[in-house]
Structure formats: structure tokens, C-alpha cells
Amino acid sequence: MPLTAIKVLALLKKHKEGLPFDEILTELGVKRRDRAKVLEEIRKLKARGDVRFLRGRFLLSEKTGLVRGRFVTARPGFGFVTPEGGGKDIFIPARHAQGALPGDEVMVVVNERGKFGKPEGKIERILKKGRAALLGVYRERGGAPFLQPFDSPSQDDVPLKSRGKLGPAPGMIVEADRATLTVTRVFGMPEDPGVDAQVVIRRYELRPHFPEEVLNEAAGIPDVLSAGAIEGRRDFRDWPSVTIDGEKAQDFDDAVSIRRLPDGGWLLGVHIADVSHYVRPASPLDREAFERGTSVYFPDLTLPMLPEKLSNNLCSLRPREPRLTVSALMDIGDDGRVRQAEFAPSIIRTAHRMTYTSVFKIFEGDAAEAKAYADVVPDLLLMRELARALRERRLAEGSLDFDLVEPELVYEAGKLLSVAAAERNEAHRLIEEFMVTANVAVATAFSEKKIPAIYRIHPQPDVGDLGKLRDLILNFGLTLPEPAKVRSKDLQHVLEKAEGLPGEKFVGLQVLRAMKLAVYSTGNVGHYGLAQVHYTHFTSPIRRYPDLVVHRILKGLLAREEPGRLPLDTIAAKSSERERNAAEAEQALLEWRIFRLLKDRLGDEFSGMVVDVIKAGLIIEVDEYFVSGLLPFDSLSGDYEPKPAARRLRPRRLRKTFDLGDEVRVILVSCDPALRRMSFVPAADPEESRP
């Protein structure tokens, strides 16, 4: 930074109230001929956000509540800014967004205690646009072109200056240049085949194709393992191991094996594909994996983090083929406690590619399934015993067990027929227990050795959020201690008490919403939801970049190498952002298709649950479809007053009060799949129709 700029900042630090430009010149003793130079430096400081101009005075930004950050996660009516230096996300009402879109670098004036007691801000200016285009639905009014944008917190249409030469029809999804407001690309109508996936990929800036240099590097990797690749590895090819995944799984990066110990405990082997053997730091493959951060899974399309030769071949633990792995070997007592853990680069050869369904059938006593996998059935039954011991111990220590149902799209001959609850059984939980155990063991090793690493952290919830949760669950006869004293054990107790209640699903969702997001970090603050002091992600290096980095760190530790100077903070932040972006993209396409299915059912009656109250009315989640829509309060018979802060819709006269968690019957009256919005009117209330 130039000396003049440093002097200006030091001066303004002394004068908290700020100084006019002429006084700055006087204080610094600037000669007349240098006046323009100082002004230019101050302008640069202002552009960087270090200095702010307010009421004729220049002030330090930190003294005026200015924060630099990134605009993220826009929803109709609001968005958030993630501060550049970390800290709580800043809530931005639509009226204060100033046209910002997700990905924009912005400067925000912050009120640390906004309307809801949390940081709230107003975007002062956009420093750098994250994307050059606007994406949305093309509209026309009075012959003039407009764009209804997807990612703007404002619900107002954006006037376009030109349709361009593409001639879109109203209702089509288009892209417009953000600077010229001219249509530059037409995707088609929302219902056209493939448009939804194309739009989501573009909207979330995903990478559908690999650069040629990345594909060339992957193609150049030998298909056959060399003696040098195997040398120095533990050989577990004679220890029976299996992969257990879903029927539609494409990459198999974890295998498990087990052995009963003489004292009644178990030796558990968790073997993870050694992706780091093939993907070297700073190589084209590595740079591309870093940019992607994670694989993205759509209902009928996968965007892998690594090219297919690695993800579906060399790093996929195919049955009866030798594969390079990194193994976690854990000696576990009959009480589910890990007594000792060791790690080693290894080579394995899995016996079978099994599915959750087939393993669960064996657990349920299916004779035909047991016969098909007779050679590993004894091991599977041992694994079942161990998984139950691990789960019992984990829950006793306060780990939260969110058994929330997720949607699965049901297709027939390429046509979406229905939405079903994705099946989860004991085999799913078995693999989850083993993976959690391995992740904890690796993180514990890093922490004990005090080496720089990436952890998967889940910070404690805010006391304010726990207070709101405490008030909400009182309606269901459930209680929590004072917010400052709530432990994860207390929340797990609430989930257990809610089992079987009409509001079980709602209570689970509210507990989940009170939690903070789990993220990657170099600072180990533990994992609140799992009640673990040490936790990382080690088990999925094919599809998660942090896991690949964890493998490199672990192998360096085993080789007694000095820790390298990896940019771990940058990797953790980037990986957290890419993970969140991928999750939002997956949810967007899933919901788009569910809304498209519901659009054919306009006029039908549905059961639903009140999941939120906003100024416009009630947000209703439709049973069995996993999506929500608006029941406007002005569609309710009677005079209602919305009470968003109290999370209820209250009648001004003696009529029904609507609370969160209430079951309702509604009729679907509108549905927009592309915008993922729908609205209802109430179904006839039998109680009110009686004479």
C-alpha cells in the first residue's frame, strides 16, 4: 500500500468522526502540487471499501459499520451477505439489495441488531459482479420486454432494453446481459425436455464438461497397477471386503471388512479409494477438482468431480478387481468405543458390490439373498452387531439422529409418475456408522499430532435460535432447558419424545432449522450435531475435494513428512461454498420437477402442514410431495391478522387460529415450476359448513 494511503488511514483512525478533504490535506501537510495525488489515493481507498464518504467527511469504514462480503442465497423478499472476514451472515431485505445477485462482491452498511435481533444490512454498492448475465422468465407487458429473474431478492420484473435477435416468446426462459439488458440466449419453455437441467446448470454455474487437458491427463493414467504403485502398501486382498451402496450408485469409493477379536470386540476396516495416488497437487486434474469442489447429483444426470476414467473405473472399488486404497483399521470394544486406530496406504479386492436392499434382506432373513452372498453373510451379521453398538454409544453421547425422509422421483419409460419417500433401512445406518467412526478416527489423529488439517465442523447453535425453538415446541408438550444450557443430548431427547406425535416431522424440521450449517474449516471447534470433539471428511475423495486433501495430509503424516504449506483456509472456504451451491442446484432441479408434476393437478385437494407464517399468509408444505406453497391470508374466510414474529395467523374475531405444525386441507390454484412457486385456497371446512 502506498505511503500516502497508509498516512490517510492512520489519520482517520485518530479522528473517529471523520475529516473533510481540505482538513486531511492540512493535517498531512500536503503541498498544493500533491493535492491530486492524495485525492486519487483516497478514491482508491474508497473503491476498496477501506474509507467511506459521509456528509462531506471521509471516515474509516469500520467506524461506520461497513462490511465487505459476498451476496449469497437470494430468496423472494431477501438475501444474505457472507462477510469477507468471517462471522454471521447479514440479512438483506429486498428493498436494500440494490440489484445485487448471488456471487456479487458487495459493500454493506450493517446494523448488528436488526429487526429480528440478528445482523441486518443495506447494500451500499456492488464492488464486483459475480456473474455477467441475468437468468429468468421472459415476459411482455404492453409490447415491452421484461425479465422475471430467478435469483433476485426483489419480486419486481426487470425492464429489458432489447429482445435481441433471438425473438423469445413470453414464458420462455432466457438469459440477458446484465450490462446491456439484452437477451443473449433462449433456453426454451420450462416444460421442454432438458431445459430444466440446462437452466439449473447455468444458473448455479456448474461445470458440465471437463477441459481437454484434464481429460488428456486422465487418459494418460495406466489402466494396470504397476509394482511400484503397490510397493509399501498393506495387502488386504485376502480380507473379504464389500461395498454397500444404492442401486443407482455410480462410484464406489468405500469398502468395509470386519473381524471378531478374541476379547469379544471387533476389528473394523474402512477402505477408501486412494484418489490422491492419481490426482497430484496442482495438476490439471487437481485444479479442476478444486474448482468443482464436489460431484453434483441430479435425478438423471451426474456431474462428477473427476473424469469417468477415475470416478467410475480406476478409483471405483469394483468387485474382484485390485484397487489402491487408504485404510482405517479400528479396534473397537464391545461397548462401541474405539480403543485404537491405525491407518495405512493399502490394496484391496472387494468380494461383492452389494446394495442397501440386498444387505437389509439378509438382515431380515431372506434365504435367497443369503444364499447369493453366502461367503460374506457371517461378516455382514458381525457388521450389524458392531453398527448397533456404535449407534447406541453415539446416541448416548448426545449425537442427533435426524431420520428425515427425503423425496425420490419415480419414473416409468422416462416419464415422471410420482414422488416417493426415499427408503432408508438398517443397511444405510450401518454404513453411516462405519463412515462416521472412520472420520472421527482420522480427525482425532490430526488433532493429537497437532498438524494443520481440514476439519468438518458444526458450530453450536445460537442461543436466540434455541430460544425460538424452545417456544415453538411448547405447543407439542415438549420442553428444553434454558437456551444457554441446551446440549445436543437435550435436542436428541426432544426428537425421541416427538416420535409418534402428529407433529413429529414438524418438530424434526424445527430442530434442524435451529442448527448452524456444517462447514469445512482449519479451526477445529468440534461437530455439535454428532457430539464429536474431532471430526473430518475422509471417506469420499472421489466426490468431495476436502476428502482428497485429507488423504494427502494423512499419507504425509504416515510417511513422517513435514506438513506442506497447503492453502488449507482457501480450500476449506471454497469447498464449503461449492458444497452449498451444489446442494442448492440439486434441490432446485428436484423441486422444479415436482412442481411440474403438480401443475397437472390444478384444482385438486391436498393435505399439508403449516411450516411458516409470513406477511402474505401461511406457507404450506404438501404432504407426500416435499414442496411448499402459499395460502394467502386474504383467501381465508374471515378477518385475519398475520403475526410473522409470533409464527401464527390470528383472527381479529373469534375464528380458527393457525399455528405452525397445524394440519390443513388446501386446493391447488396456481403453480409455476420454473419459479418453484404455487398457491392454494382453503378446502371446505366441514366444521364451518354445518348449519
Q: Is 511:400 a contact under the CB 8 Å cutoff?
A: yes
Higher pLDDT, 661 or 307: 307
State pLDDT tens for residues 517-545: 999 999 999 999 999 999 999 999 999 99
Predicted local distance difference test score (pLDDT) of residue 571? 96
Q: Is the pLDDT of residue 618 over 80?
A: yes
Residue 158 C-alpha cell reads as 426487470
Predicted local distance difference test score (pLDDT) of residue 187? 97
Residues 238 and 381 in one domain: yes
In a domain, 595, yes or no: no
In a domain, 203, yes or no: no
Predicted local distance difference test score (pLDDT) of residue 117? 59
Q: Name which of 107, 97, 114 is nearest 154 in CA terms.
A: 97
Residues 258 and 406 in one domain: yes
In a domain, 196, yes or no: no
Region 300-325 average pLDDT: 96
Predicted local distance difference test score (pLDDT) of residue 121? 87
When pLDDT is cut at 50, 70 and 90, the band that residue 107 belongs to is confident
Distance CA 383, CA 257 (A): 8
Predicted local distance difference test score (pLDDT) of residue 578? 96
- Residue 50 DSSP SS3: coil
Enclosing domain of residue 97: 65-128
Q: Is the pLDDT of residue 341 over 80?
A: yes
Predicted local distance difference test score (pLDDT) of residue 643? 58
Q: Is the pLDDT of residue 310 over 80?
A: yes
When pLDDT is cut at 50, 70 and 90, the band that residue 654 belongs to is very low
Q: Which range among 2-11, 345-354, 487-496 shows the weakest confidence by mean pLDDT?
A: 2-11
Predicted local distance difference test score (pLDDT) of residue 110? 81
Predicted local distance difference test score (pLDDT) of residue 86? 73
Residue 302 C-alpha cell reads as 451426474
Residues 430 and 534 in one domain: yes
Q: Which residue has the cell 462477510?
A: 83
Q: Is the pLDDT of residue 299 over 60?
A: yes
Q: Is the pLDDT of residue 690 over 70?
A: no
- Residue 31 is classified by DSSP as -
- Give the percent of the chain with pLDDT over 90: 69
Residues 346 and 317 in one domain: yes
Q: Which of 515, 535, 550 is the last residue before a domain boundary? A: 515
Q: Which of 561, 588, 615 is the last residue before a domain boundary? A: 588
Task: Give 650-683 as a DSSP string.
Answer: EESSSSPPEETT-EEEEEEEEEETTTTEEEEEEP
Residues 141 and 119 in one domain: no
Query: What's the chain's average pLDDT?
Result: 90
State pLDDT tens for residues 31-73: 878 888 888 888 888 876 678 787 788 887 654 467 889 998 7
In a domain, 409, yes or no: yes
Q: Which of 79, 113, 128 is the last residue before a domain boundary? A: 128
Predicted local distance difference test score (pLDDT) of residue 691? 42
- Give the percent of the chain with pLDDT over 70: 94
Residues 39 and 123 in one domain: no
Residues 112 and 141 in one domain: no
Residues 420 and 534 in one domain: yes
Pick from 23-27, 419-423, 595-599 the range whose average pLDDT is largest. 595-599
Predicted local distance difference test score (pLDDT) of residue 651? 55
In a domain, 594, yes or no: no
**Residue 156, amino acid:** D
Predicted local distance difference test score (pLDDT) of residue 576? 95
| Residue 139: its H or E element | strand 133-141
Burial code (b: 16+ CB inside 10 Å, e: under 16) for 123-138 equals bbebbebbbebbbbbb
In a domain, 267, yes or no: yes
Predicted local distance difference test score (pLDDT) of residue 647? 56
Q: Which range among 11-15, 72-76, 322-326 shows the weakest confidence by mean pLDDT?
A: 72-76
Burial code (b: 16+ CB inside 10 Å, e: under 16) for 79-112 equals bbbbbeeeeebbbbbbebbbebbbbbbbbbbbee
Total tally of structural domains belonging to the chain? 6
Q: Is the pLDDT of residue 457 over 50?
A: yes
Distance CA 396, CA 492 (A): 10
Q: Is the pLDDT of residue 407 over 70?
A: yes
In a domain, 197, yes or no: no
When pLDDT is cut at 50, 70 and 90, the band that residue 644 belongs to is low
Distance CA 234, CA 324 (A): 10
Please report, for the domain that includes residue 44, its CATH number. 1.10.10.10
Residues 253 and 327 in one domain: yes
Residues 366 and 264 in one domain: yes
Burial code (b: 16+ CB inside 10 Å, e: under 16) for 612-631 equals ebeebbbbbbbeebbbbbbb
Region 644-673 average pLDDT: 75
In a domain, 205, yes or no: no
Residues 346 and 280 in one domain: yes
Please report, for the domain that includes residue 675, its CATH number. 2.40.50.140
Residues 228 and 291 in one domain: yes
Higher pLDDT, 78 or 362: 362
Region 570-582 average pLDDT: 95
State pLDDT tens for residues 177-233: 999 999 999 999 999 999 999 999 999 999 999 999 999 999 999 999 999 999 999
CA distances from residue 568 to 372, 391, 408 in whole angstroms, order as listed: 46, 32, 36
